[in-house]
Amino acid sequence: MNYNDLLESHLKYGTTKEDIVLNRGYEKILENVVIAPWWSHDIFAKLDFRVEQVSEKVYNLYRDDISFSYIELKSIGAPVIMENTLPLGLTKCKNLVFLGSAGSLDENIKIGDIVIPTYSICGDGASRFLNKNLEDELFKKEYPTKEFTNKLISILEKENIKYHTEVNFSIDTVIAQFYHIDRILELGAKTIEMETANLFKCNDLLNINVTALFCISDNTVVNKSLYSGRTEEENEYRHKVRYEIIPKIVVELLKNK
């Protein structure tokens, strides 16, 4: 499947390009876009942006030196990311940054640490719908844009910010993932989340600049899961990274595009 195949299938059943854009509220999407399953655009509140809400999920942030659209999904998972990423091919979007939380599968990757995925291993079911014949995507590797990701890493190094570059596993479930952790570790994954394998596969159709940045929310292998074990100090550090460090990194990356 390519992007034109997708659009023609919509047209076959009466849906135009304009209908798709309007349905997502993407009429005013800018060239630079940040997409987040759960984080609010408020993480940029201290950076002097003028904020325009242009639809239910889309906010445009403006400053003299940079502007970007922020897509605030308030929902998680591969199907959600696919529904809100593929329509970007009908907009001005050229650069897309994914922001979200991930779990650590390595005792050396701490809660609050920043991780840049080198690639994401598919553990979702939605990605098969991006294949012509619904071929299974399980355990396939999906990659961000290399040059764009390298620019993100160079900013982290320039600012002397601690980070990890790791293999990620994208899964459909939180509660059932624990039974499969050993198998996921065997695949080489050091982090786990729910969207980026699908996001990167969507970009096979879109062919824009795409990268991802995680903040570690939990660590399964040291018994600090989303369900139990995390300390107040760890959560405070994670909050600081999410609200004070990551927004500045994203602004620097998009300013350089």
What's the CATH number where 19 sits?
3.40.50.1580
Q: Residue 8: which residues within 8 A CB-CB, separation 6 or more?
A: none
Q: Of 251, 151, 128, 252, whose CA–CA distance to 211 is shortest?
A: 151
pLDDT at residue 69, as a whole number: 98
Distance CA 126, CA 245 (A): 32
Strands 58-63 and 50-53: antiparallel
Q: How far is CA 34 from the centre of its chain?
A: 8
Q: Of 204, 197, 195, whose CA–CA distance to 5 is shortest?
A: 204
> Number of folded domains in the chain?
1
DSSP string, 109-177: S-TT-EEEEEEEEEE-SGGGGGSTT----TT-EE---HHHHHHHHHHHHHTT--EEEEEEEEES-STTG
Instruction: Please tell me the pTM assigned to this model.
Output: 0.96
pLDDT in tens, the chain (257 residues): 999 999 999 999 999 999 999 999 999 999 999 999 999 999 999 999 999 999 999 999 999 999 999 999 999 999 999 999 999 999 999 999 999 999 999 999 999 999 999 999 999 999 999 999 999 999 999 999 999 999 999 999 999 999 999 999 999 999 999 999 999 999 999 999 999 999 999 999 999 999 999 999 999 999 999 889 999 999 999 999 999 999 999 999 998 66
pLDDT at residue 233, as a whole number: 94
pLDDT at residue 256, as a whole number: 65
pLDDT at residue 254, as a whole number: 97
CA dihedral 174, 179, 180, 181 (to 10 degrees): 80
Q: What is the DSSP letter of 191?
A: E
Which residues span the domain enclosing 221? 3-255
